[in-house]
Amino acid sequence: QEFLTQATLSYCGVASAAMVLNSLAIPAPAASGYGPYRFWTQENLFEGGRGGPEAAMVRQRGMTLAQLRQLLAGRGVTAVAIEASGLNLTTLPQLLRRSLADPDDRLLANYDRRAIGQAGGGHISPLAAVDEGSDRVLILDVARYRYPSAWVPLSLLLQAMQRPDADSGRSRGLVRISRPSAASAPPAATPRSAS
């Protein structure tokens, strides 16, 4: 139910981040036009100065792996960037299985579409499942106007994530997102009384 289509050509990371935050029920700001309802949108993700790239920059260039991690970390989750240069066909499936088996974990992949036989360049979308029998991973493509969700061989996804990002000069990869532990979560705000 949290599935979104990216709002602009460069908002793949923004749509993916909003999906993840909503699916983890992370407290959200008000959603413009929805009265008292609060949920993450591709607009309010940038409100409040919580850190991460500026909306104007993302509209022009998209996001690098590090910028995606920074954006998510500023929205109340634990976010870890994992560069694909450090992964292989043994460690990647282990990481995917561990994360996808945890209901409080999410994975976003930053990959080069060309390596999986699609047109375009860098892209970000959530990963939803691994099929052990075929060694394929399900990518929930947020560019639904262009490509459907697809089962992609792990070997191709690894190649696609290992290709360098032209903006950062570093390999692409994964951002692993989880709810903060109770010990590390900030204390709840105490309402002020009128005096």
Catalytic: 141?
Answer: yes
Tell me which DSSP letter residue 160 carries: H
- Among residues 104, 123, 131, 165, the one annotated as catalytic is 123
Catalytic residue among 102, 135, 141, 167: 141
Q: Can 12 be counted among the known catalytic residues?
A: yes
Asked about 165 being catalytic, the answer comes back as: no
User: Distance from CA of residue 18 to its chain's centroid?
Assistant: 8
Residue 137 makes CB contacts below 8 A (sequence gap 6+) with: 96, 127, 129, 130, 131, 151, 152, 154, 157
Q: Which of the following is catalytic: 12, 104, 112, 165?
A: 12
> Which amino acid is it at 172?
R
Q: What is the dihedral of CA 44, 46, 50, 54, to 10 degrees?
A: -170
The secondary element (H helix, E strand) that includes residue 192 is: none
CA distance 161 to 172: 5
Known catalytic residues are 12, 123, 141
